[in-house]
């Protein structure tokens, strides 16, 4: 399936793409656009929009797109993903109710990827997936030891 979002991806869009790839659509095609009307562009491309205002997978109030996607994909039963959603929410939403300390580090790393590869969303995505895979492993460990 095709998935479309804004280019110059950062913490939330990287996280949503990771979540889509790992748990929702194991063979996604990601499209990044600087277009003005992303909804129209998604329709033309036969793609689903994500992390774009007005899409089904966008922020809702203080809930990050990552959290919305977990809820709408019925993944809230996974405590590892729930913990990750608190970290991603902290990193992506300024007024997040979670305030998880790991969110600051995730934000720094993802911002750094964007500054390192400012015109290469595909590279940011590849390297960002490594970061999110590592975060998932860290969250698994936290859940296992009960922290």
pLDDT tens-digit series, residues 72-113 = 999 999 999 999 999 999 999 988 889 999 999 999 999 999
Task: Give the pLDDT score at 35.
Answer: 87
Q: Domain range holding 53? A: 2-145
pLDDT tens-digit series, residues 25-65 = 999 999 999 988 999 999 999 999 999 998 999 999 999 99
Per the rule left: phi > 0, alpha: psi between -120 and 50, beta: everything else, 28 is beta
Task: Give the pLDDT score at 147.
Answer: 60
Mean pLDDT for 16-33 is 97
Lowest mean pLDDT among 11-15, 66-70, 94-98: 94-98
Structural domain count of the chain: 1
Asked if residue 92 lies in contact with residue 12, where contact means CB atoms within 8 angstroms, the answer is: yes
Task: Give the pLDDT score at 77.
Answer: 96
Q: How confident is the model at residue 134 (pLDDT cuts 50, 70, 90)?
A: very high
Residue 14: partners with Cβ closer than 8 Å, 6 or more residues away = 110, 113, 124, 125, 128, 129, 131, 132
> Beta partners for 30?
3
Task: Give the pLDDT score at 96.
Answer: 87
């Amino acid at each position: 399936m095709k998935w479309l979002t804004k280019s110059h991806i950062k913490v939330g869009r990287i996280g949503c793409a990771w979540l889509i790839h790992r748990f929702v659509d194991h063979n996604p095609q990601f499209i990044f656009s600087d277009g003005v009307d992303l909804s129209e562009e998604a329709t033309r491309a036969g793609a689903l929009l994500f992390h774009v205002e007005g899409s089904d997978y966008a922020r809702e109030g203080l809930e990050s797109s990552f959290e919305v996607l977990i809820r709408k994909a019925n993944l809230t039963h996974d405590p590892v993903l729930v913990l990750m959603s608190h970290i991603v929410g902290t990193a992506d939403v300024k007024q997040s109710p979670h305030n998880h300390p790991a969110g600051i580090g995730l934000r720094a790393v993802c911002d750094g990827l964007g500054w390192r590869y400012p015109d290469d969303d595909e590279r940011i995505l590849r390297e960002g997936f490594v970061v999110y895979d590592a975060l998932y492993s860290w969250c698994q460990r936290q859940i296992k030891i009960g922290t």
